[in-house]
Chain A
Amino acid sequence: MITIENLTKSYGKHQILKNIHIAFEKGKIYGIVGENGAGKTTLFKCITGLEDFEGSIESSLNPLKNYMGYLQTESYFFSKMTGKEYIHLLCDARNIQNTDFEKRNIFDLPLNQYVTSYSTGMKKKLTFTAILMQENEIFILDEPFNGVDIQSNMMIVEIIKKLKMLGKTVLISSHIFSTLHEICDEIHLLREGTFVKKALPHEFKALESEMRDFTVGNLLERLDLK
């Protein structure tokens, strides 16, 4: 469904992504993990077309961006715009005529209030609701669980599973390994701009252990906690 080849992205002399090769299939959930600054968000921005890059991204969907819902780590919201108007804007952008927002407001958000009065988690849930209503084929979710309460977290997990059942493709970046473990078909480890490992469900635990060893190592001893 999406094939990425030789994707490279640099900011000035600093190379963020190096020769990325990966393919995403229809009806699968992909987890992208890696430490802060590994290039996850930049990769998502390249896939969406929000950032220029070298290399190629091919897809059977054309233009790809019109079938994509992108949940950013921190979405930008206009001041004095209500939640309902935000959803309306995003649906209008895709020519989706749906006025029954209240019924589909499963996170029980105060849609008639200004978005700027929402908490971080509410903003995340609003954007997620809006991209769901856009009826996309591909969902790119950058840290969808950040700042979200446990009940909503569970709800998001169930929605993602439902999306898979509907044959949608979902790309998730998250630091919550247990959640990724539960929903992903594949997890890819991004380190310093390159995919260094791909894990299938039976390899998830080993990947988590390897990541822990790599990241923590003997750093705790340096802390000299007493």
Chain B
Amino acid sequence: MQYYFSLQFKILNRHIRDLAIHPLIVYLLAGGSFIVISNSIFKQLEYASIVYVVLALSSTIGLQDTSRNLFLKSCYTTKIYQKIRMIENLIVVSPFWLFLLYKAEWLWVGVLPTLAILFSFLQLKNRGNFTMPTPFYKYPFEFIVGFRNTFYLFFVAYGLLVAGILSKNPNLAIFAVIVVFLVSLTFYMNTEDKFYVWTYSLSAKQFLFRKIGVALFYTTCILLPIFISLIIFFPKEWWMMGIFMLWGYLLLLAAILMKYSVFPEKVMIKESLLFALNFQAPPLLFILIPYWYFQAIKKLDNILK
């Protein structure tokens, strides 16, 4: 069991080193970002501790992958397997737990590890022939795959909107817009196999415009109920909503262009840092978007010519 965890640590470090950066720097950056984000959650949200615990438990879902756990079961006895799963879950939620401790949220300090252990007993069952329907069938593939993986987060966004309307808190409703954009952004974070670009009979420009068009169209479809509700219930806040929506669309556009600006390679630390800077300095988008656009055209030309 000890070897399993040391191997996981080695693998993680190898992934980080592949990004041409020392693991210690990444751990420090990740720790710092975690503290900043956690602080802002507790500053901005009324029921921050609940949101925080949900976030912590959501981060353990990846460890419930069926094929991964089948492999572990085939390697270890049932007892050791269960121990590994419990420890893994506790490791994943530990940063959240430490922050709750710092915030003196005593109830959640007790509840979070208990739930994490209980979650380790959960198994994502093979649902046989069940295929989750998706409204995004027409234009493959990012939203088809993304929606099936993260559909519950859209419900979280709509839940935030309802909570915002009920508590007459426009910030909560605007936060719902941000959640939708952030979730849509994640659909474009993974680099697809080169074959899925190669197979298109489009020019680089046509390909990019199609990808961007689909992303903007589907995101707008998801945002529409939020947008209409905000106009009805918080008409005075339209300008703030407009700013956030514009920023969201630009971020989405930048994410797509960034991905293809290095394609077929994966997005590396340099691009990620530049992208992250946009959260602090949004005007940077007006420089990065054209820059990444021309880079993307160059990269895609090599494949689509």
The residues of A with any CB-CB pair to B shorter than 8 Å are 48-50, 52, 63, 65-66, 70, 72, 75-76, 78-82, 85, 88-90, 92-95, 110, 112-114, 117, 134
Contact = CB atoms under 8 A, between A and B. Distances in A.
16 contacts: A49-B305, A52-B302, A63-B305, A72-B195, A75-B195, A76-B193, A79-B145, A79-B149, A81-B144, A82-B131, A85-B140, A92-B139, A93-B202, A94-B201, A113-B131, A114-B131
Interface residues of B, number: 26
Contacts of B145: 78-81
A49 B131 contact: no
Contacts of B149: 79-80
Contact of A93 (B132, B201, B305): B201
A93 B200 contact: yes
Given A80-B132, A114-B131, A85 B144 contact: yes
The secondary structure that dominates the B interface is: loop
A2 to B, nearest CB: 16
Contact of A95 (B132, B201, B303): B201
The secondary structure that dominates the A interface is: loop
B129 A113 contact: yes
A65 B129 contact: no
A113 B141 CA distance: 16
B203 to A, nearest CB: 10
**The 9 nearest A-B residue pairs measured at CB:** A76-B193, A66-B201, A89-B140, A80-B148, A93-B200, A93-B199, A78-B145, A94-B201, A80-B145
Contacts of B195: 50, 70, 72, 75-76
B194 interface: yes
Interface string B119-142: 000000010010110000101110
Interface in B185-243: 192-196, 198-202
A81 B195 CA distance: 16
Contact of A94 (B148, B199, B303, B304): B199
Contacts of A49: 198, 303, 305
Contacts of B132: 80
Interface of B: 126, 129, 131-132, 137, 139-141, 144-145, 148-149, 192-196, 198-202, 302-305
A52 B201 CA distance: 19
A95 B201 CA distance: 8
Contacts of A90: 199
A50 B194 contact: yes
Contact of A110 (B129, B137, B139): B129
Contacts of B137: 85, 88
B298 to A, nearest CB: 14
A81 B137 CA distance: 10
Nearest to B140: A89
A187 to B, nearest CB: 26
Given A81-B141, A94-B199, 19 more contacts: A48-B198, A49-B303, A49-B305, A50-B195, A50-B303, A52-B302, A76-B193, A76-B196, A78-B141, A80-B144, A80-B149, A81-B140, A81-B145, A92-B140, A93-B196, A93-B199, A93-B202, A114-B131, A117-B126
Contacts of A134: 199
A75 B194 CA distance: 11
Nearest to A134: B199
B264 to A, nearest CB: 9
Contacts of B129: 110, 112-113
A126 to B, nearest CB: 14
B131 A112 contact: yes
A167 B199 CA distance: 21
A78 B134 CA distance: 15
Nearest to B197: A93
